Amino acid sequence: MVPAQPRTRSAILLLAVALANAGGVIAYLPLFSLLLPMRVEVLDEAAKIDLLTATAIVGGIVASGANVFFGWLSDLSAARGGGRRRWVMGGLAALALSYVVLVLARTPAQLVLAVAFAQAAINAVLAPLFAIVAEEVPARRKGLAGGLLALGNPVAAAFSVVLLAASGLVEMARFALVPAAALVLILPLLALRPERQALAPEFAVPWDRRDIVIASISRLLVQLSCATLTLYLLYYFKTLVPAGSDAAGLVGTVLTISYIIPLPVALALGRWSDLSGRRKPFLCGAALVGTVGLLGMAGADNAWQGAAAFCVYATGTAVFLSLHVTFAMQLLPRPDRRGRDLGLVNLTNTAPAIVGTLIVWQLAAPQDFTPVLLAFAAIKGIGAIVILAVRERPRMPAR
C-alpha cells in the first residue's frame, strides 16, 4: 500500500510540472504564432516571409546554443548543491526584459536581434526547468507527466486568444502580459522544494547513447513541421479565407481548439504507457496521425477543411511530442548531465525551426502551401517509423 504522503506529494509535483510547462509554452507560443507575425507585417508587409524566415533562422541558432549552455550551467549548480531553480528565476527576469526589447524594435535588423535575445531568455528558462522534471518525476509516473505536458498548448493558445481579443490593450501591454503569465505558472514548481534522493538508476539495464540518438532523430523528423508550421499558420489560413476576413482571429480559435483535443488523449495514452511499460507503439501511432493531418491540410479547399485537418495534425503531433519528452528523459545516459544532455536533445526542437523554415522558403508561396505540406507529411511519416528502432527496457521494481 502506497503511503498517503508520498502519493499526495506526487500529485502536487505532477500538477506543478503541468503548470510550469504551460508557463514555458506561454513564454514562446503567443510570440511566434501571433505577436511576431503581426509585428513583421507592420515593419515590412512586402517581404514578410523573408523577414519571418530570417528571425526564425537566427532565433533557432541562438536557441540551440542557449539551451545546451544554460542546461550545462544548471548541471554545475546542481552538482555544487545550489540547485537549478535559481537559473529558472534568472531566465524569467531576462524573458521580461526581452519582451520590452521586442516592442522597441523599429527596423527589421532590430527585430531579428530582439528575437535572438528572446530565444536566449526563453531557453534560459526551459533548459533548467526540464532538467528539474527529469530528475524529480519518477520513471513510473513519466508517462502521465508526459500526458500532462499536453496542457501547455491549450493554455497558451487560449492566452493568445485573450491577448488578441483585448482590443483595448496597447502593444506594450500585450507583450508585457506574456512573461508575467509565464512567471505566475512556473512559480509553484519553483516553490516546491526538491526531495534529496540518490540518483540511482530506475532501469534494470542502463541506457546507452544509441537509443537517445535514435529517439532524437525521430523527434527531429516529426518536429520539423511543428517547429515551422505554427510560425506560418496565419499566412496559410489567409490562402483559404475570403479577402478581408479576420484570419488572425481564426488562427487563435483554431489553435485553442486543436490544442484542447490532444489533452485527454495524451493523458490516457501516457497513463496506459506507464501501466504497459511500453512507449514506442503510442509514439509511432501518434506521429502517423499527425501525418494524415498534414495531408488533409495540403488538400483543403476552404478554411473549415484546413481547420479540421490541422486539428488532426495537432492531435497526433502533440501526443507524440508530449510523450516523447518524458521518454527521452528516461534514456539519458548520465544523471549528472541531465541539463546538458536535454539541451542536446532540444536540438530536435530548434534545428527543425531552421531547416523547416528553409523548406518553407524554398517550396511555399504566399498563396500556395501545398508542396511544403506534402514534404512535411513525408518527413513526419519517416519519423514515425524511426522511433520503433529504440529498444524497450524493463523498469526496476518500485521501492
Better-scored residue on pLDDT, 196 or 166: 166
Domain boundaries, the chain: 4-389
Least confident of 12-16, 82-86, 205-209, 271-275: 205-209
Q: What would the pLDDT profile of 10-48 be if each residue is shown by its tens digit?
A: 778 888 888 998 999 999 888 887 788 878 877 766 667
Place of cell 499558420: 233
206: pLDDT strictly greater than 60: no
Confidence of residue 364 (pLDDT cuts 50, 70, 90): low
| Average predicted confidence (pLDDT) for the chain | 80
Nearest-angstrom CA–CA distance, 191 and 197: 18
382: pLDDT strictly greater than 80: yes
Contact 323, 269 (CB under 8 A): yes
Distances (CA, A) of 361 to 39, 51, 313: 19, 11, 21
- Other CB atoms closer than 10 Å to residue 377's CB: what's the count? 20
Better-scored residue on pLDDT, 231 or 92: 92
In this predicted structure, what is the pLDDT of residue 7? Answer: 62
208: pLDDT strictly greater than 70: no
CB burial of 167-178 (b: ≥16 within 10 Å; e: otherwise) equals eeeeeeebbbbb
Nearest-angstrom CA–CA distance, 215 and 205: 17
Percent of the chain with pLDDT over 90: 18
In this predicted structure, what is the pLDDT of residue 199? Answer: 41
Q: What would the pLDDT profile of 98-147 be if each residue is shown by its tens digit?
A: 999 998 888 888 889 999 999 999 999 998 888 888 788 777 777 777 77
In this predicted structure, what is the pLDDT of residue 336? Answer: 61
C-alpha cell, 184 = 505566475
Q: Helix H segments across the chain? A: 4-26, 29-30, 36-43, 48-79, 85-104, 108-136, 142-148, 152-165, 171-191, 209-238, 247-260, 262-276, 280-298, 303-331, 338-345, 347-363, 370-386
Place of cell 485553442: 256
Angle at 363 between CA 53 and CA 354, to 5 degrees: 35
In this predicted structure, what is the pLDDT of residue 350? Answer: 66
In this predicted structure, what is the pLDDT of residue 91? Answer: 92
In this predicted structure, what is the pLDDT of residue 200? Answer: 40
DSSP conformational letter for 399? -
Pick the CATH number of 4-389 from 1.20.1440.230, 1.20.1250.20, 1.10.287.110, 1.10.490.10: 1.20.1250.20
Identity (one letter) of the amino acid at 78? A
| Bridge partners for 166 per DSSP | none
Q: At 302, is the secondary structure helix, strand, or coil?
A: coil
Give me the half-sphere count of Cα atoms (radius 13 Å) on the Cβ side of residue 345.
33
In this predicted structure, what is the pLDDT of residue 173? Answer: 82
Nearest-angstrom CA–CA distance, 231 and 162: 19
Contact 381, 284 (CB under 8 A): no
Q: What is the DSSP string of 342-367?
A: HHHHTHHHHHHHHHHHHHHHHH-BTT
